[in-house]
Amino acid sequence: MKYICPAESRIAVAPDVMQTQQGALLIMPNPNSGKFVMQLIDTEQNIREVRVLDLSGRVIISKMISDADNGQMTIDASFCADGLYVVEVIGENSKWTAKVSIAK
């Protein structure tokens, strides 16, 4: 099966947003070189913890948060090998997850 996109076509590219019932987790840029911004939008919950996990479930980064700046935080995972990781944000009553790709 082939997909053909005519020259006059337009393609919209949106950032990777994982929408949940109680908010959305935005990772940008994605893919990235190990430094990225995580933003939790459309929620009133306070963020308690942010984790970055490898695909085997091992915690690579864990940060306890007392008060994130408008639900936004810069993550430095530049020491991680290229690959796919999971960002997990734990709130008062909810948990959000999103995939992030690191490619240096």
Residue 79 lies in a domain: yes
Q: What is the C-alpha separation between 3 and 54, in angstroms, rounded?
A: 33
Q: In the block, which residue shows the tokens 């190990």? A: 34
Would you tell me how many other CB atoms lie within 10 Å of the CB of residue 49?
13
Any alpha helices (H) in the chain, and if so which ranges?
Answer: none
* CA-based torsion, 61, 49, 53, 25: positive or negative: negative
Report pLDDT for 74.
93
Residue 37 lies in a domain: yes
For all residues of the chain together, what is the average pLDDT? 81
Residue 81 lies in a domain: yes
The CATH number of the domain holding residue 46 is: 2.60.40.3080
Can you give the residue range of the structural domain that contains 25?
A: 16-102
Residue 8 lies in a domain: no
Q: What is the C-alpha separation between 69 and 63, in angstroms, rounded?
A: 14
Q: What is the C-alpha separation between 90 and 64, in angstroms, rounded?
A: 10
Check whether 16 has a pLDDT greater than 90: no
- What values do phi and psi take at 91, rounded to 5? -105, -170
Report pLDDT for 72.
84
Helices (H) and strands (E) in the chain, counts: 0, 8
Check whether 5 has a pLDDT greater than 50: yes
Q: Which of 60, 41, 42, 4 is nearest to 50 (CA)?
A: 60
Residue 30 lies in a domain: yes
- Kindly report, residue by residue over 53-98, the tens digit of the pLDDT: 999 999 999 998 765 566 788 999 999 999 999 999 998 888 999 9
Residue 4 lies in a domain: no
Check whether 52 has a pLDDT greater than 60: yes
Residue 50 lies in a domain: yes
